[in-house]
Every structure is written in C-alpha cells, then in structure tokens.
Amino acid sequence: MKLDLRSDTITIPSNSMLERMMSANVGDDVWEEDFTIKELEKKLAKIFGMEAGLFCPSGTMTNQIAIRVHTSIGDQIICESSSHIYNYEGGGAASNSGVSIKLLSGDFGRLTVDQIKDSVNPDDPHFPKTKLISLENTCNKGGGSCYDISEIKKISNFCRSNNLGIHLDGARIFNALIATKQNPLDYGKFFDSISICLSKGLGAPVGSVLLASEKFIYDSKRVRKSFGGGMRQAGYLAAAGIYALDNNITRLSEDHARARSIFETLNNCSFVDSIYPCETNIIIFKIRENYISNVLNVFDKNMILYSKFGKDTVRFVTHLDFDDDKLEKLLKVLKSIT
C-alpha cells in the first residue's frame, strides 16, 4: 500500500465526480457559451460575496492574472518570504508583469498590519511604487497555518485607506475556513481579488477560480487570453469543481483530524528535531541530523512518499485519498523508528 503524502494535488477523481463531469453541458467558453463554467464561477463568487469569477487552468495562472491586473510595469508588491507567488511561480511576477517583490518575514507565513505599514515605500522617485499586498491562507510553507480574520481586517483597512490593492492566494482557503469556522463573506469583503484552487484538497483534477469585481474580472479575461488560458469546452473540468464544492468541503475536517494524529505521533518520536504547529492538512517537521538517512530509508521501504524542504525537513499533506487504513499504517511505521 502506497502512502502518498507528497501533496493534496495527487488525488484521483472519484467515480461520482467523473459521472458529473461526463454529463456536463458544455460549449465554447472563449465565446462565453459554456454554461457549466459560468455556473461554477457564479457559485463560488456567491459563497464569498464577490461579483464575479474566472475559471483558469491553475492557481499559478489566477495569481499571475491578479498581479497583472493590480499593477503596472515597475510597481512593487509585498508578500511573505515563503509565499507561493514568490517561490513557486517561475518568477512570473517579474516576467509577466514587470514588477518587483518586497519580501517580509512572517510568523509561519503570516504577516501583520504593522509589518506591512513599515514596508510600504514612500512616494519618492527612488523607490518602486508599492501597489499590492498579497497574503496566503492557508500558508503552505508555514505548515498550513491560518490567519486570524481580525488581522486580515486590519490589513484590508490599511490597504484601502492607502490606495493599495489586496490579493488573497487562497489555494487552500477552504481548509482555513473549515479549521477556523470563519465566514467566507468576510474574505469577499476584505480582499479585492481571491484565487482559489479546486485541484488541492477539494479533489478536482484541474482548475482554479479568480474572484473579484465585475470590472476586475473583465480585465482579467483579456490577461487570461494573453497567457494562453482561454479554454473551450472546459465545462467538463468545471463540472468537477461544482461537484467538489457540493461534496468535498466539509470533509476537509477529516484531513485535518488525520494530520493532527500524525502531528501528535511525530511529537513523541525521538527522530523529530522540531515540528511546525499543525492547524490544517499540512505537517512539516525537521529530522535530527543523525537520524536522517535511517528515517528516509524507512519511508522509502514502506512506500511513504513525502515532499522534502531542504536536506532535513519533510512535508506531509493529508488529502481525500489518504484514509484511516493508510493513517494506521503510517502511524505504526512512525512509532517503529528508533
């Protein structure tokens, strides 16, 4: 039995998701004729209380479109140093939008309003214009950490009174909503644009949606076309997203509970040097130096797949194809390592 904890992107569509996809009513979306895509965009916009949505092939594309629409060439955006838009999008902010990035070092990926206040550039020709603040929730490299909505509110108020855009990389926003019981409508109020992945914990095979105002989405559609992301009968994919929203949101709490048991077991393992707080479906831990090769060998032998951050740090991500049988086997292996 393979225990694949590399990412929550590795899930395979269930039979009922595939049935929903196969029976989708589709058309050419570039010609605005795919009503399944429109249904998905509307449904997600409504959950967050935003005006409109735009279906895209990936979360990288929804983030990159948002950056392009928020900024002009030469501007600067501010984000946390571990954020996806800086580390994992191929340097797209520079190559797609011609902007620079100011990195702040946060608390497990989270920024505070005071940090942001201190880092906005003054209006002086020496400095790039600060245009956009981008937050990530949950923070992937922060170990799936969640923001307090009170901090987001303060950051949003600051952005709005200082003419700064505010974007959310919400690849795993539903994990945060389920873990903290926050209200998605608050996110729609506090952010100008939100990127949401359907292909992570929600279990769809492909797709992300950008949410924003009608005007912002109108502009985003042209950018999506220029990035090569205008798709035709992609309603088959959107149908998987609709299925995921209807069936796979509340079950995220199961992924969180399984992550919690892994976290608690690791906490008692002598090979663990340190471990990030565990709030959602991500567990990040550092292995003690003299245990590294042994632990990784045991993982390999038992077909435990993981992501590696550097030479001694491992990330496990729980997801809908990681069930209780697999959890039991994993915990047994972890406890057996001495």
Please give the Cα distance from 320 to 53 (Å, whole number): 26
Choose which of 29, 80, 136, 279 interacts with ligand PLP (CB under 6 A). Answer: 136
144 binds ligand PLP (CB under 6 A): no
Least distance (Å) between residue 246 CB and ligand PLP: 21
Angle (CA) 190 191 192, round 5°: 130
**Which residues in the 57-76 window bind ligand PLP by CB under 6 A?**
58-60, 63
Q: Is 71 helix (H, G, I), strand (E, B) or coil?
A: coil
DSSP secondary structure code for residue 310 in this structure: T
Measured CA distances, 71 to 2, 62, 87, 99, 229 (Å): 44, 14, 19, 8, 20
Choose which of 171, 179, 282, 330 interacts with ligand PLP (CB under 6 A). Answer: 171
**Which residues in the 76-95 window bind ligand PLP by CB under 6 A?**
84
Q: At what angle do helices 324-336 and 292-301 cross, to 10 degrees?
A: 140
Nearer CB in complex with ligand PLP: 178/272 = 178
- Contact of 149 with 157, CB cutoff 8 Å: no
Least distance (Å) between residue 56 CB and ligand PLP: 9
Choose which of 41, 169, 192, 255 interacts with ligand PLP (CB under 6 A). Answer: 169
Least distance (Å) between residue 83 CB and ligand PLP: 7
**Which residues in the 182-241 window bind ligand PLP by CB under 6 A?**
197, 199-200, 208
Please identify, among the stretches 30-38, 52-60, 217-225, 250-258, the one whose residues bind ligand PLP according to the rule CB under 6 A: 52-60
254 binds ligand PLP (CB under 6 A): no
29 binds ligand PLP (CB under 6 A): no
119 binds ligand PLP (CB under 6 A): no
255 binds ligand PLP (CB under 6 A): no
- Contact of 36 with 24, CB cutoff 8 Å: yes
Outline where the chain has alpha helix (H). Answer: 15-22, 35-48, 59-70, 84-87, 92-97, 113-119, 149-161, 173-180, 184-190, 214-226, 235-247, 252-267, 292-301, 324-336
Kind of pairing, strands 3-4 and 208-212? unpaired
| Interacting residue ranges for ligand PLP, rule: CB under 6 A | 58-60, 63, 84, 136, 140, 169, 171, 197, 199-200, 208
